[in-house]
Amino acid sequence: MESEDEKTDVPHVMFSVFDKNRDGTIDFSEFVLIIAMGNKEDLDSRLELVFEILDTSNDGRISYDEMMDFLETTKKYQATDSVTNFVPETVAKEMFAMFDLNNEQKISKQQFVEGCKKNKDLSDFFDSW
């Protein structure tokens, strides 16, 4: 169980975002993702890397639960105006609805990238990573 200090501690939250398999460590592939995030200039590449972070099951698709985990963790960390008022559940539901999917279905990488590029709020949100 996380303490209140851990929930708001930026390093702890960032660690949670990049520890894709939730094993309590950052392995080499997770470390490479972190480094790559800082080196990508174009939006498509950044969105593809964000997709890789969200896809914690490594099945090439994002589930509703994976999206919620990411958004809830991100909410703890980000404090910019563009995300101050976002509600993780609302964003996840809207994203899945955008693709006519229910929360039992999954979003493909192509859907994620194209959908984020078509929606300025999502594009700005995910590009901030």
Residue ranges of domains in the chain: 4-127
User: pLDDT tens digits for 46-91?
Assistant: 888 888 888 888 899 999 999 998 888 777 766 554 445 678 898 8
Residue 8 has pLDDT above 70, yes or no: no
User: pLDDT tens digits for 88-122?
Assistant: 898 888 889 988 888 889 999 999 999 888 888 88
Question: Which CATH fold would you assign to the domain 4-127?
Answer: Recoverin; domain 1 (1.10.238)
Neighbouring-strand partners of residue 61: 108
22 — pLDDT class (breaks 50, 70, 90): confident
Neighbouring-strand partners of residue 106: 63
pTM (global) more than 0.85 = no
Which string of DSSP letters, residue by residue, matches 81-96? TTTTT--HHHHHHHHH
Nearest to 87 by CA among 102, 100, 75: 75
Q: How far apart, in whole angstroms, are the C-alpha atoms of residue 8 and residue 113? A: 29
